[in-house]
Amino acid sequence: MKGSEELGIKSEYDSNLRHIEYAMEKYSRMLFRISYSILSDEHDAEDAIQETFIRYMTKAPLFRDSDHEKAWLIKVVTNVSKNMLRLKNRQLIHSTDELQSIGIDEENRTVFEVIMQLPPKYRVVLDLYYIEGYKAKEISAIIGITQTAVRKRLQYARTLLKNEMERIGLE
């Protein structure tokens, strides 16, 4: 009897491990982009993702569906990144290699760097809205603010972005 129990536990462990590996493959790039938009540092963003998946493994939450899982991961990586940001006050340095690793080409580098100069609370909503395709209601649930606050942050971020683009001669 003990042998069959051990096989059942091992089988469940293997299944969980495969699911975690799948989640890492599926969401890592997106989580990296979100974390990088908060931390402005490739290595710190990687650390934040690692911490996010450690929490995923240790807490072993149950999700209704893949959207629920994705939202949970985004919320955790956002919180981990914000906590890391509080501990470090870094200058913005973006090498070409760092930008290419998150899918930003030279053509979009200037726009990206202007966005990265925005405060983190604006960068996160821009990323979730324009890149990840979330609606204001979903963003409010993910980052824990009201829908009105999400819309205001988007509006203000667009204004800041437009003004800075005009100031440097891009439109």
90 band by pLDDT with thresholds 50, 70 and 90? very low
Task: Please give the tally of structural domains in the chain.
Answer: 1
- Whose tokens are 């799948």? That residue is 22
Indicate which CATH number applies to the domain containing 8: 1.20.140.160
Predicted TM-score (pTM) of this structure = 0.54
Structure tokens at 55: 């929490």
Note the pLDDT of residue 97.
Answer: 62
Does 126 score more than 70 pLDDT?
yes
> What is the radius of gyration, based on Cα positions, of the chain?
19
Predicted confidence (pLDDT) per residue in 26-72, tens digit? 999 999 999 999 888 899 999 999 999 999 988 877 888 888 889 99
Distance CA 166, CA 171 (A): 6
Q: How far is CA 22 from CA 8, 9, 15, 171, in A?
A: 21, 20, 11, 40
Q: Would you call 41 helix, strand, or coil by DSSP?
A: coil
Structural domain that includes position 55: 2-167
